[in-house]
């Protein structure tokens, strides 16, 4: 794949965790980064940190749950900055959605952010990227996309949607000049994982995960899975017959 020079980037969910880390990582490598999220004060703190390091991160108040408004704002931004080279759909939420105690409000909240919001972010300026014959869209899925995790039906399904969505885009956009990358993180220290009350094997430090992710994106990798100690068995679990998987998942639960 031909090298691509990146000038501008949009990262959603940039107020904390992987999104914040990636926005700062890209800015330190010379990109003009638009850090999007709902918590403006945290975005402004990120911008100040970047400025102190001689980099440029511009806060962008954006709520991907308001899909139509978010798409309109991203298109405006694309015009204002002379074209977005990189769009990273990172904003995401988790939460327990157990089949025996399923609550539509929780399910819908996850779908609104992880499915509708992510798809809206990725497609907002994709037609313009195709016209320009340059650009890169990145979706942050999860290793949870490979199988339905016990107690997390909505989260696993939302990340499976994003993974399949990115795969189809990758096939469609081959030869168009537009790159497609899907990232499958395991457990990474963040505000979201801090709320988990279950074991998180091979929990990664945020900086280490960001380094892997950033380098892979700039290389133009089509898929990124990490950490390998969790990614490898997770891929193998995908081919387990359902009775074996169901029994193992119940024991882990």
Instruction: Transcribe 164-200 into DSSP letters.
Output: HHHHHHHHHTTTTTEEEEEEEE--B-SHHHHT--S--
Q: What is the pLDDT of residue 238?
A: 82
Query: Quick check: is 1 in a domain?
Result: no
Q: Is residue 166 part of a domain?
A: yes
Handedness of CA 236, 241, 244, 247 (dihedral sign): positive
Residue 2 lies in a domain: no
CATH of the domain at 236: 3.40.50.720
Tell me the CA distances in angstroms from 212 to 3, 123, 217, one per residue in order.
18, 25, 9
pLDDT in tens, 188-213: 876 666 566 666 666 789 999 999 99
pLDDT tens per residue, range 147-168? 988 899 999 999 999 999 999 9
The pLDDT score that the predictor gives to residue 1 is 43
How much is the pTM?
Answer: 0.91
* Residue 22 within any structural domain of the chain: yes
Q: Tell me, yes or no, whether 103 lies in a domain.
A: yes
Instruction: Spell out the per-residue pLDDT of the chain, length 253, in tens.
Output: 445 799 999 999 999 999 999 999 999 999 999 999 999 999 999 999 999 999 999 999 999 999 999 999 999 999 999 999 999 999 999 999 999 999 999 999 999 999 999 999 999 999 999 999 999 999 999 999 999 888 999 999 999 999 999 999 999 999 999 999 999 999 887 666 656 666 666 678 999 999 999 999 999 999 999 988 888 878 878 887 888 878 877 776 6
Does some domain include residue 175?
A: yes
Number of independent structural domains in the chain: 1
Q: Is residue 133 part of a domain?
A: yes
pLDDT at 2: 45
Which helix or strand (DSSP H or E) is residue 77 part of?
A: helix 67-80
Is 155 an active-site residue? yes
Give domain status of residue 125, yes or no. Answer: yes
Residue ranges making up the domain that contains 87: 8-252
pLDDT, residue 197, reads 60
Selected catalytic residue, list 6, 146, 155, 184: 155
């Amino acid at each position: 794949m031909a090298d691509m020079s990146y000038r501008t980037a949009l990262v959603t969910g940039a107020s904390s965790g992987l999104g914040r880390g990636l926005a700062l990582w890209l800015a330190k490598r010379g990109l003009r980064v638009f850090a999007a999220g709902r918590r403006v004060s945290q975005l402004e703190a990120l911008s100040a940190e970047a400025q102190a390091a001689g980099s440029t991160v511009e806060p962008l108040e954006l709520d991907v749950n308001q899909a139509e408004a978010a798409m309109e704002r991203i298109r405006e931004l694309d015009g204002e900055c002379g074209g977005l080279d990189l769009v990273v759909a990172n904003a995401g939420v988790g939460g327990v959605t157990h089949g025996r105690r399923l609550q539509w409000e929780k399910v819908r909240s996850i779908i609104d952010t992880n499915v509708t919001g992510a798809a809206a972010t990725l497609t907002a300026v994709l037609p313009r990227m195709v016209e320009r014959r340059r650009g890169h869209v990145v979706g942050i899925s999860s290793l949870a996309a490979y199988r339905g995790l016990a107690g997390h039906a909505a989260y696993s399904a939302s990340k499976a949607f994003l993974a399949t969505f990115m795969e189809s885009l990758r096939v469609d956009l081959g030869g168009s000049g537009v790159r497609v990358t899907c990232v499958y993180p395991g457990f990474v220290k963040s505000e979201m994982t801090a709320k988990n009350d279950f074991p998180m094997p091979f929990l990664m430090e945020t900086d280490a995960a960001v380094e892997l992710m950033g380098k892979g994106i700039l290389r133009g990798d089509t898929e990124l899975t990490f950490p390998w100690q969790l990614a490898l068995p997770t891929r193998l679990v995908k081919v387990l017959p359902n009775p074996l998987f169901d029994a193992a998942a119940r024991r882990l639960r």
